[in-house]
Structure 1
Amino acid sequence: MIPRRLTETLLARLDQFPAVALLGPRQVGKTTLAEWIAERRESVYLDLESPPDREKLDDPVYYLSGHSDKLVILDEVQRMPELFQALRGLIDKGRRKGRKAGQFLLLGSASMDLLRQSGESLAGRIAYVDLNPLDVLEVDPAARERLWVRGGFPDSFLADSDEASTVWREAFIRTYLQRDIPDLGPRIPAETLRRFWTMLAHDQGGLLNAAHLGRGLAVDGKTVARYLDLLVDLLLVRRLPPFHANVGKRLVRSPKVYVRDSGIIHSLLGLGDRDAVLGHPVAGGSWEGFVIENLLGAAPAGTEASFYRTTAGAEIDLLLDLPGGTRWAVEIKRGLTPKLDRGFHHACDDLRPDRSFIVYSGDDEYRKSGDITVIDLRGLCARLLAYPEAP
């Protein structure tokens, strides 16, 4: 098991809250991390995709009351939304008996459904922890390129070869399309949703154009929005909102859309190794999305992320409004000799960020004119992780 950065955070939340929800896409390592915790705490584990385990919860209050002294781990909890009301009663009963933390660990791979269900029933009783795919702070620095090409799902990253990694990712995509999504309720043909997902990969980091996507799929804009909401809810796609404020400029109002895992992008486009990725037009957008996912995974809680673009061409790839009112501007460049466009300088003149960075493919850190720091991805992630102590 690769040590995960969020382990200490998860343990701290379990020591503070009666219930903790560990959220992340399938195969990201939630169950592995939960099993590691179960080995260190008296626990009972239930997989809600397993019929025998589901049968145990026919009367959830009766069954779970028999394990009130243990940490109960409920995997794929969104499969049984009716549980949340029962959990509320059990948590309140435990509080009356003096147990204030560490009763339930809920694992879920469908964020909005789980948040809505638990938020209604467990308000004030639950904390949320997001587990993302592996990032640059969790792997050897020399493996950064492999992480980008294969993506951060552990089985893909750790595969014995690029071919084995590609096979795993294709199986992952097929399973989501043919089993997981239909099981969650939406009646969308698997081939249609794959085409949509692939179209998003082709346009990685582009502005959302629902009309264009709709024409390609022969559906209307509302249907495109429904497909996109589904992939966002499943933590497979990210909508990065545009910056909105009264800056006296005409601002772009459409969000940018990113397939969140770079390895999934490459598989959707049939790119099996580093050379294939570098030879494809998506390389720049794939790298940009990879950087954004890593930075947001390291950013402190409460950080607001957006991008800045005016109709006149001023642009910043990523704005991070950090806790305390600090704003960082981040430009992302694939290559070893990053050059800034004039639009970035104009955007910085508009917004006056506290710090400006260029994240590039190299390993050195140095300053450019205009008080701009050129930095590698791992270095900026480390600064975010140490914020506000980081200089």
Structure 2
Amino acid sequence: MINRAIEATVLRSLNFFPVVGILGPRQVGKTTLARKLIGELNKPVVYYDLELVEDFETLSQNTTWVLENNINKTIVIDEVQRLLPLFPQLRALVDRKREAGRFILLGSASPDFLQKSSESLAGRIAYHELMPILKSEAESSFIPQPTHWHRGGFPDALLAPDNGYWYQWQQNFIKTYVEQDLSAMGISTTIPLLNNFLRMISHVHGSLLNYSTLSNSLGMANNTVRRYVEILEQAYLIRRLEPWFVNVSKRIVKSPKIYIRGSGNLHFLSNIRHYEDLITHPIAGASWEGYVIEQIIPLLDPGIRPYFYRTSNGAEMDLILVDGITPVVSIEIKLSLAPALKRGSTESANDLQTEHNFVVTPNGGNIAVRPKWLHCNISELIEHLKTLNMVAQY
């Protein structure tokens, strides 16, 4: 089993907050993490999985009895978004006996979970987002970067015996999301059209999000496309990276960039079955860019916000990290091993006035390429961000 960096942070919350919520996409390892945490708690635990019919019926039909008769235990409720009316009762029980670590709630693919729990449990719950296994976590289990980049960070897919099993896992994963989760979240269209929608997004991965282009290509209304993109983002499948506006006198690109968050999902949707196919595929550069971004953003301190930067005259930066209203770090992401900088990158750094600028490539080396610019790999970059106090302490 691969150890997750977030474990210590979740345990810390369990020692203070009555309720701890662990959010993340399907199959990311929330249940595995919860079972490991259970073993480290110094109190008895009762576990309910609401995907099991018997557990769902037990909690939905006998809610008060179950909760009150386990008042001295930690109650773990998996897939809690399936029983949203539970939250007001949790609040009443917490207020009756406010004690740390009373409930662990696991939820996926549901904006209603956040809304309902925030309304009912405000001040009583701490949220933690569990994302697919990071490169640093994979390498601690001797999984090399090429494998992790190609397969992505979903545990079962990453640890599959071969690429055939990996591809089959991805196929089942996308099928489940398309046929169950996304339809339950409000995407009411045919399965073939939704599959085409996902594949269309894989084609524009790393590009500016143009709703009209997607709308015209798919024969869908513009507002429908916008709503579907929002749902995919809420389901942790895609990321919209917003642009940073540094100078209102410049003609700044206003559209966000869109990424499929899981590199393995992207490669499956692009029919890339092997790493050797990936490095020669036209999407390789954009895939590497999205992969690097997903290794950085989950580690950031909550006060640090990620953006990209682009102007109409060609100045562009793949990722900038902003503290408050001050851009601090500029990051150019290149699949090429050569750390050469384009004019657009240097112009962007000048516009942003960032003191710390990095070119991230697969191999890196911590090599100074020009004043205030360092060529590094992902691991080296994270160490620099730690030095700058931009990474949350796990």
TM over 0.5, shorter chain: yes
Q: 1:247, 1:68 → 2: CA distance?
A: 56
Aligned to 1:11: 11
| Cα pair 2:304 2:390 within 8 Å, conserved | no
Q: 1:126, 1:324 → 2: CA distance?
A: 29
- Mark the CA change 1:317 to 1:160 in structure 2 (over 3 Å): closer, same or farther: same
1:160 aligns with 2:196: no
| Cα pair 2:4 2:137 within 8 Å, conserved | yes
- 1:245 CA displacement: 3.9
CA deviations 1:99-131 (Å, max 9, x no partner) are 2x1111111112532211111111111111111
319-328 vs 136-145, greater mean Cα deviation: 319-328
1:106 aligns with 2:141: no
CA deviations 1:23-73 (Å, max 9, x no partner) are 110110000000111223321111112221111122322211111111111
Aligned to 1:43: 45
- Mark the CA change 1:241 to 1:352 in structure 2 (over 3 Å): closer, same or farther: same
Amino acid paired to 2:319: L
1:340 aligns with 2:341: yes
371-380 vs 51-60, greater mean Cα deviation: 51-60
Q: Which of residues 80, 85, 90 in structure 1 aligns to 2:83? A: 80
Q: 2:145, 2:281 → 1: CA distance?
A: 19
- 1:333 CA displacement: 0.3
Aligned to 1:179: 180
Aligned to 1:253: 254
283-292 vs 366-375, greater mean Cα deviation: 366-375
1:139 aligns to what SS in structure 2?
helix
Aligned to 1:198: 199
Aligned to 1:70: 73
Q: 1:375, 1:324 → 2: CA distance?
A: 26
2:225 aligns to what SS in structure 1?
helix
Q: 1:389, 1:299 → 2: CA distance?
A: 6
Name structure 2 gaps, 5 residues minimum. Answer: none
Alignment of 1:226-241 (within 5 A): 226-241=227-242
- 1:361 CA displacement: 1.0
Q: 2:77, 2:21 → 1: CA distance?
A: 10
Q: 1:305, 1:376 → 2: CA distance?
A: 18
Q: 1:27, 1:156 → 2: CA distance?
A: 9
Aligned to 1:33: 33
| Cα pair 2:320 2:327 within 8 Å, conserved | no
- Mark the CA change 1:12 to 1:281 in structure 2 (over 3 Å): closer, same or farther: same
- 1:296 CA displacement: 0.5
Q: Which of residues 87, 92, 115 in structure 1 aligns to 2:95? A: 92
Q: 2:189, 2:387 → 1: CA distance?
A: 43
Aligned to 1:120: 119
1:362 aligns with 2:384: no
- 1:162 CA displacement: 1.4
- Mark the CA change 1:190 to 1:383 in structure 2 (over 3 Å): closer, same or farther: farther
| Cα pair 2:317 2:345 within 8 Å, conserved | yes
| Cα pair 1:193 1:227 within 8 Å, conserved | no
Q: 2:189, 2:48 → 1: CA distance?
A: 29
Q: CA RMSD in A?
A: 1.7
| Cα pair 2:336 2:361 within 8 Å, conserved | yes
Q: 1:104, 1:237 → 2: CA distance?
A: 29
1:20 aligns with 2:20: yes
- 1:179 CA displacement: 2.1
2:322 aligns to what SS in structure 1?
strand
CA deviations 1:74-113 (Å, max 9, x no partner) are 1111111111111111111112xxx2x1111111112532
1:138 aligns to what SS in structure 2?
helix
Q: What's the TM-score once normalised by structure 2's chain length?
A: 0.94
- Mark the CA change 1:384 to 1:46 in structure 2 (over 3 Å): closer, same or farther: farther
Q: 1:56, 1:244 → 2: CA distance?
A: 52
Q: 2:114, 2:328 → 1: CA distance?
A: 28
- Mark the CA change 1:155 to 1:388 in structure 2 (over 3 Å): closer, same or farther: same
| Cα pair 1:315 1:344 within 8 Å, conserved | yes
2:137 aligns to what SS in structure 1?
coil
Q: Percent identity?
A: 40
- 1:181 CA displacement: 2.2
Alignment of 1:313-352 (within 5 A): 313-322=314-323, 327-352=328-353
- 1:389 CA displacement: 8.5
| Cα pair 1:300 1:387 within 8 Å, conserved | no
Q: 1:350, 1:111 → 2: CA distance?
A: 39
1:377 aligns with 2:378: yes
Name structure 1 gaps, 5 residues minimum. Answer: none
Q: 1:354, 1:369 → 2: CA distance?
A: 12
Q: 2:206, 2:156 → 1: CA distance?
A: 25
2:165 aligns to what SS in structure 1?
helix
| Cα pair 1:74 1:105 within 8 Å, conserved | yes
- Mark the CA change 1:324 to 1:251 in structure 2 (over 3 Å): closer, same or farther: closer
1:20 aligns to what SS in structure 2?
strand
Q: 2:337, 2:249 → 1: CA distance?
A: 35
| Cα pair 2:306 2:320 within 8 Å, conserved | yes
- 1:335 CA displacement: 2.0
| Cα pair 1:298 1:385 within 8 Å, conserved | no
Q: 1:319, 1:332 → 2: CA distance?
A: 11
Q: 2:110, 2:354 → 1: CA distance?
A: 32
- 1:222 CA displacement: 0.3
- 1:198 CA displacement: 0.8
Q: What's the TM-score once normalised by structure 1's chain length?
A: 0.95
Q: 2:79, 2:361 → 1: CA distance?
A: 38
